[in-house]
A and B are shown apart, each in its own frame.
Chain A
Amino acid sequence: MIINHPLLGPRDAAEFVYLGDASLMQRPNPKSETAAEDFHNYQYLRNNPAGEHKELWYHEQGDRSWLVVTRNTLSHEITHVELARDVARSS
């Protein structure tokens, strides 16, 4: 697969390490009253879409950026790639 890095252009997926669902960026509030359940869901529950999936890739053999990649799990088409940092800052 090719991941179109927003700063570096197209790079082979072999340069990256896959982590998982981009929902991992939404770490729950540890002070919340429902923290125990929130963290359990955060850690263990996932949607498993047959279709568009937002996921986290780490450019380990490149610039060490974390990226949020929108990829179709059926066709592998990648429609959107952004710096995770930008996504994290805007949310």
Chain B
Amino acid sequence: MNLIDKNRPFNFKFDGKALQGFEGDTLASALLRNKIQLVGRSFKYHRPRGIMGAGSEESNALMEIHNQGVIEPNRRANMIKLFDGLDVRSQNRMPSLNFDVMAINDFLSPFLAAGFYYKTFMWPRAFWEKLYEPLIRNAAGLGRLSTNPDPDRYDKGFLHCDTLIIGAGPSGLMSALIAGRSGARVIIADEDFEMGGRLLSDPQEIDGASGYEWVSSTLAELHSMPNVRLMPRTSVFGNYDHGIYGALEVKTDEINAQGNIKGARQVLWRIYSQNTILAAGATERPIAFANNDRPGIMLASAMRTYETRYDIDFGKYAILSNNSSTDKNRSDQTIDTRADIWIADTSGRKGLKSVTLNSGEKIATNWLGMSGGWNPNVHLTCHKRGRPKWDDVNACFCPDPNTLPDAMQVIGAANGEFTTHAAFKGAKKACANLGHKSGKSPKADDAPYEVGAFWHVKGKKRAWVDFQNDVTSKDIILAHQEGFSSVEHVKRYTTLGMATDQGRTSNVVGLAVLAEARGDSIPDTGTTIFRPPYTPVSIGAFAGPHGGQHFKPIRKTPSHKFAEENGAAFVETGYWKRASWFAKPGEQGWRDSVDREAFNTRRSVGICDVTTLGKIDVQGADAGKFLNKVYANTFSTLKVGRCRYGLMLREDGMAMDDGTCARFSDTHYVMTTTTANAVTVFRHLEFVRQCLFPNMDIHLISTTEQWAQYAVAGPNSRKLLQKIVDPEFDISNEEFAYMGCQKITVCGGTRARIFRLSFSGELAFEIAVPTRYGDTLVRKLMEAGEEFDVDMYGTEALGVMRIEKGHAAGNELNGTTTALNLGLGGFVAKKKDCIGKVLSQREGLIGDDVLRMVGFTAINPNDTITNGAHFIKMGDPKDAAHDQGYMTSIAYSPELGHFIGIGFLKGGDKRKGEELMAVDFVRNNHIKVKVVSSHFIDPDGERLRA
């Protein structure tokens, strides 16, 4: 019995050669079927290599999948499911697999032993960057990247289950059957595209019928259960906290170069499980002997898999074994180390020709299956810092029952129980522990596993331990001789176990060699730490769908569409896209637009979308009391129908955020925050509400998105708004003074709110409507403003105007400045406590010499003021010791016709008129500046109160 469908042939190419395989083949089995032995060149020595295994433990057969210029490198041939049109190339050889110039390394091997790069490439120093680095970079690595964009789709998802079963061999399948029958929600995952594990590879009988039949009928029953989810081609690669597992599901190996393949190529799953059964099986290990890496030398179990499942005929071949598992190979001769026979050397550089025994006898053979024993796949028991336990009888590491992750049980070969009978028994017991009863297990193979530890043959010739990183037993012994004797040092010094196979076949053998060199036992030598992922996971899978425009969400303002129609350039503030300016036809650069917008607003009227500023609805009997706690100034005294500027401090006394707060009733305030801090302020307020003052009657909810809000600013702003605001609402200066707020209607009855606030320093209002009217309102405002030459203005002009006015903003509230630094010391109410009050009084933060926010102009009006410049007294050295402060905001003022700046200066409030150097080493721009008031325009606020 096998799993190959000869009625469904596939055509594929290997290194350009056209070949054929069948449905059910992997690339590896198809190559073997075509009698191809040479499939790759080793990493360091470029030695000819062949297929070594049949599963994800493969060390040698790494391939590039090609499709229309897209390359996926480092794919194991045994993990590629053959499909029609597959185009693969071997790796790490130049110019060809058959003739690789880099094989010169093999002959230079005495100079390339472990750690050679720590001892070479040192002299001369001048060669480091120009010669050695490019050389090493070129030689390093295995596969290549195409640098073309990845055309495939990747996805991520979340699964929930009662029991996660990792591995679908006999123990896993039996567990799924029992748990599934009892109604539990089960996920059973296996990295193979066919479930069955070693039942597909080792011919045996279960209850008198073939193992294949048992697998078949079991899968049929599992598929019929709605509470069981079968996940083939899914590798559970990591065990994380609290029953969370990471799994990678491969949907197809076909690269979507033509864009015609539907669906994601790989899906990364986050699995939430209540309990887990680890039935991950075991991996066979090789034996290290001279020239044990020839093409044609494979793991014995892999040969059985190819014989049975893939219907490959190897002809006559030999086995080297130290255990009983190889009894089932269809080989002609077994070299049993337990009988003191082993292999001393091999021949056949590009394909095995013969092996020479320790007796001297030479055996002609093209294939050799080697088995040095079995290693339970304990990895997932160790991802949370557990370490496995050495089992002397079975000569392997087994899971330590005392350090297993929460709610995990290990059964079958993964637990060091190597017979099918034991697998079924383990499944029954594990399920019983979960409360699932079961009947009698079917009769299955029970021949005990017997092994005699045999790790390596000592000698002068190189004997491979880690095939992928080309680490030999000599390297490990050398590392120990040079003092790198701890298992952690040996790993890094030799790179044993550091390749893409993460030492699946090499770690334990290497450990044994090291232990022997040290004169210690294997358990005393210890293991390194297993970390996720168990098998490689592409970065694309970790990114999932979050690439390109899906990398992060976009938040759009209510006027976004209108802005797009009107030449807006957008800036990202967090996730928001805000219009920074609106380019009109003929305008050459951003300054043209920004200068015009600021000038026009001050001359007539401008409109700006300010929806993005956080709006927090604050209600409750204790609303005023609460706001007094979070703001430095007082809000309980704010009258209904009025607004007030508020400064919020962090508990360490630094300014955190500012905004305005409007009061609509005794128990109702609406607070605004800056755009960037909306989320953090809300979080902070909830902390104060729930954790510090839990007994206050106070409720918070965000209304940032609920209200579309526009600033209408300029001398004609009221006239414009009077065309929009319904006539029963009086917004004249007499009836609606500066800093007032009202609930109104606009455009014939639409609900709205109006606030008389000004960030620009002009006569200004903010008008808010439920966002459903936001797009229409901005168009109406622009229409109404046509007679006043209204312009939209963006965040840049907004910035220019607030700098002209001397308002502090994000640049000044930079997390290191206090109310006093900002010139707002008077805002901190003396008579009440607030968050930040106590620590704002620390001696280092007060006093005459602290930084104070002031304005700056250039003495030479043609000079450009640059932001971030530091202030140095005239004549002082330009260094940190003489630093007097720094510039925080600069703009070209259209109204004044020159650059202006705001910044912090030590004791600045008393230094107006002083001339200083503004020193900027980044742009090499040092200019003379004068200290002035930061209120460049309308310092008395007459425009505001018009």
Q: In the complex, A touching B, CB below 8 Å?
A: yes
Residue numbers of A with Cβ under 8 A of B are: 1-2, 10, 12, 17, 19, 24-25, 27-28, 30-31, 35-36, 39-40, 42-43, 56, 58, 60, 64-66, 75-78, 83-85, 88-89
Q: Is there an interface contact between A39 and B651, defined as CB atoms closer than 8 Å?
A: yes
Q: Which residues of A contact B687 (CB under 8 A)?
A: 19, 56, 58, 66
Given known A2-B241, A43-B651, A76-B242, contact A35–B838 (CB-CB < 8 A): yes
Q: B691 contacts which of A2, A42, A84 (Cβ < 8 Å)?
A: A84
Given known A30-B837, A31-B833, A39-B839, contact A1–B242 (CB-CB < 8 A): yes
Q: B839 contacts which of A43, A56, A88 (Cβ < 8 Å)?
A: A43
Q: Which residues of A contact B270 (CB under 8 A)?
A: 12
Given known A1-B241, A78-B242, contact A88–B690 (CB-CB < 8 A): yes
Q: Which residues of A contact B839 (CB under 8 A)?
A: 36, 39-40, 43
Q: Is there an interface contact between B651 and A66, defined as CB atoms closer than 8 Å?
A: no
Annotate B640-677 by CB proximity to A: 1 below 8 A, 0 otherwise.
00000000000110000000000000000000000000
- The majority secondary structure among interface residues of chain A is mixed
Complex Cα gap A19–B691 (Å): 12
Task: Please list the 3 inter-chain residue pairs (A to B) with the smallest Cβ-Cβ separation, ordered nearest first.
Answer: A2-B242, A30-B833, A88-B694
Q: Is there an interface contact between A24 and B691, defined as CB atoms closer than 8 Å?
A: yes
Complex Cα gap A65–B68 (Å): 52
Q: Which residues of B contact A85 (CB under 8 A)?
A: 690-691, 694
Q: A66 contacts which of B272, B652, B691, B837 (Cβ < 8 Å)?
A: B691
Q: Which residues of A contact B683 (CB under 8 A)?
A: 17, 58, 60
Q: Which residues of B contact A64 (CB under 8 A)?
A: 686
Annotate B233-255 by CB proximity to A: 1 below 8 A, 0 otherwise.
00000000111100000000000
Q: Is there an interface contact between A30 and B686, defined as CB atoms closer than 8 Å?
A: no
Q: Is there an interface contact between B690 and A36, defined as CB atoms closer than 8 Å?
A: no
Q: Is there an interface contact between B244 and A36, defined as CB atoms closer than 8 Å?
A: no
Residue of B nearest to A32 (CB): B838
Residue of A nearest to B272 (CB): A2
Most chain A beta-carbon contacts within 10 A, residue among B384, B679, B694: B694
Residue of B nearest to A22 (CB): B691
Q: Which residues of B contact A2 (CB under 8 A)?
A: 241-244, 272
Given known A2-B243, A17-B683, A43-B652, contact A25–B692 (CB-CB < 8 A): yes
Complex Cα gap A64–B839 (Å): 28
Q: Which residues of B contact A75 (CB under 8 A)?
A: 384
Complex Cα gap A12–B690 (Å): 22
Per the CB 8 Å criterion, the residue count for chain B at the interface is: 25
Interface check B588, CB cutoff 8 A: no
The contact sample of 25 A-B pairs, CB cut-off 8 A, is A1-B242, A1-B244, A2-B242, A10-B272, A12-B270, A19-B687, A25-B691, A25-B692, A28-B838, A36-B839, A36-B842, A39-B651, A39-B838, A42-B651, A43-B651, A60-B679, A65-B690, A66-B690, A66-B691, A76-B241, A78-B242, A84-B691, A88-B690, A89-B694, A89-B695
Interface check B573, CB cutoff 8 A: no
Complex Cα gap A88–B683 (Å): 17
Q: B690 contacts which of A27, A28, A39, A84 (Cβ < 8 Å)?
A: A84
Complex Cα gap A58–B690 (Å): 10
Complex Cα gap A24–B651 (Å): 11
Q: Is there an interface contact between A88 and B692, defined as CB atoms closer than 8 Å?
A: yes
Residue of B nearest to A76 (CB): B241
Complex Cα gap A76–B240 (Å): 10
Complex Cα gap A77–B695 (Å): 31
Most chain B beta-carbon contacts within 10 A, residue among A24, A27, A85: A27
Interface check B841, CB cutoff 8 A: yes
Complex Cα gap A71–B691 (Å): 19
Complex Cα gap A88–B837 (Å): 22
Complex Cα gap A58–B652 (Å): 21
Q: Which residues of B contact A27 (CB under 8 A)?
A: 651, 692
Complex Cα gap A2–B243 (Å): 9
Q: Which residues of A contact B244 (CB under 8 A)?
A: 1-2, 12
Complex Cα gap A7–B686 (Å): 17
Q: B838 contacts which of A19, A30, A65, A76 (Cβ < 8 Å)?
A: A30
Complex Cα gap A2–B691 (Å): 22
Complex Cα gap A31–B834 (Å): 11
Q: Smallest Cβ distance from A81 to chain B, in angstroms? A: 12
Q: Is there an interface contact between A66 and B241, defined as CB atoms closer than 8 Å?
A: no
Q: Which residues of B contact A1 (CB under 8 A)?
A: 241-242, 244
Q: Which residues of B contact A78 (CB under 8 A)?
A: 242
Q: Which residues of B contact A89 (CB under 8 A)?
A: 694-695
Q: Smallest Cβ distance from A68 to chain B, in angstroms? A: 9
Q: Is there an interface contact between A58 and B686, defined as CB atoms closer than 8 Å?
A: yes
Residue of B nearest to A24 (CB): B691
Complex Cα gap A89–B696 (Å): 11
Q: Smallest Cβ distance from B268 to chain A, in angstroms? A: 14
